Amino acid sequence: MDILENVKISLKEALNRVIAEDIIAGKDLPPFDRSAVDGYAVKAQSTFGVSQFNPKKLEIVNGPIIGENQAVEIWTGNPLPEGANAVIMLEYGRKINAKIVEVWKPVAPGDNVSKRGEDIRKGEIVVKAGTRLKPHHLGLLAALGFVAVKVLRKPRVAVLATGNELVEPGKTLTSEQVVEVNRIILSGLCQQLGCEAVDLGIVRDDLEEITSRIQKGLEIADIVITTGGTSVGIKDLVPEAVNKLGKPGVIVHGIAMRPAMPTALGIVQNKPIIVLSGNPVAAMIGFEVFAKPLILKMLQIPTLEIYALKAKLTRKVSSVLGRRSFLRVYAYMENGEFYASPVRVMGSSILSTMSRANGYIIIPENRGGLEAGKNVTVYLFDYLGGKEDV
């Protein structure tokens, strides 16, 4: 899937962008043996046996170190003078005059010296293509002399909500209306993955309207995500619209999972369409399971970009046999131990529980639930909490 072109951008703007090519070191780092501290370069053997009670006077010279009792004043990053093999830190020497320094701490060969190539060897791959650039990667690239890098263009993801009952936030509602919340949630999830989210608005449950709006999404974006209008039942307007738009159309519809069972996946005009449930919780889980891996693949990122941990389940949970269950939990640390507290779900589209949970666990399809105390893998979508936040 080489859909995303490369763009060259300033290193200063590259945080969280995905690098498009392997970065190979063009030089050794350090480029020569150099001092890691401010101090005095010496032959290490000059210092053997010295101590606070037995200090030694060394002659300060400028050039190479020839004699056993010579030292060269040196600053962090300076090349080690010829003949020297260690550096005494400034605070372990006392300059008596311009020509003499007294030292009282022995050094071994190599002490306080950064060896040529010890950090990076010329020819080594230092950052692999498909790496999302974090601050430490930027530092490494800067050290190698880069001021600009090739990154992948941000994927554009168009997000459409469908449903007669839906209205934009902030409007006064009639009793038939519900505020549409999926677009802001899904757009935020897209942005967190480094995508540009394109708002396709809200459409009514009307086949023609849905079809033409998805078509618009296909024209301006790399991926189209819809919510609502899919139920693996009678009223499957969105899958119908996807099929109308071209071949192969819908390739998967209905997944043995819970929530997000009515999710459908399609391909039209060589672009993926992800048809999510209108239920915000199901839409969020469907995004995590289907849209996120797709986006990472498009960005050529080899990992799943997860924050995960093992935690003790604080209470028993049940699930439906034959369905893989994604259960929201609040994961927290207490006295150095990790716990996962299942968020109590009372209804079908519980926004408030989404706000209390910071992760989810997966209950396999061959289990009817999990006992309290079981060690489970939690996938975090927000920071780890503290006990007091429960």
Diameter of the chain by CA atoms?
94
Exactly one of 278, 291, 292, 340 binds a second copy (CB under 8 A); which one? 278
Using CB under 8 A, pick the residue from 91, 208, 219, 334 that binds a second copy: 91
For residues 169 and 390, give the distance between their C-alpha atoms in angstroms, rounded to a whole number: 29
Binding mask 237-276 for a second copy (x = CB under 8 A): ----------------------------------------
Closer CB to a second copy, residue 55 or residue 246? 55
**Taking CB under 8 A as the criterion, which residues in 178-207 touch a second copy?**
178-182, 184-189, 191-192
Restricting to residues 114-173, name those near a second copy by CB under 8 A.
114-115, 118-120, 124, 126-127, 132, 134-140, 142-143, 145-147, 163-166, 169-170, 173
Separation of alpha carbons 144 and 146, rounded Å = 6
3-state secondary structure of 311: strand
In the complex, what is the shortest distance from the CB of residue 90 to a second copy, in angstroms, rounded to a whole number?
Answer: 5
Q: Which is nearer to a second copy, 77 or 368 (CB)?
A: 77
Binding segment (CB under 8 A) for a second copy, from list 41-49, 88-96, 149-157, 366-374: 88-96
Per-position DSSP letters for 23-78, written without gaps between them: EE-SS-BSSS-EESSSEEEE-GGGGTT-BTTB-EEEEE-SS---STTEEEEE-TTP
Choice from 335, 346, 366, 371 touching a second copy (CB under 8 A): 346
- Residue among 5 and 170 whose Cβ is closer to a second copy: 170
Assess contact for 331 and 358: CB atoms under 8 A. Answer: yes
Token couple for 138: 């930027």
- 31: Cα within 13 Å, side-chain hemisphere: 8
Quickly tell me which residue has 């439906």 as its tokens: 320
CB of 122 to a second copy, least distance (A): 12
Is 29 a binding residue for a second copy by CB under 8 A? The answer is yes
Rounded to whole angstroms, the Cα distance separating 175 from 105 reads 82
Within 222-241, which residues bind a second copy (CB under 8 A)?
Answer: 228, 231-235
Residue 102 burial (10 A CB sphere; 0-12, 13-18, 19+): middle
Total residues contacting a second copy by CB under 8 A comes to 104
* Cα separation, 194 vs 249, whole angstroms: 27
In this complex, which beta carbon is closest to a second copy, that of residue 14 or of residue 218? 14
Which of the residues 301 through 340 are near a second copy (CB under 8 A)? Answer: 302-310, 333, 336, 338
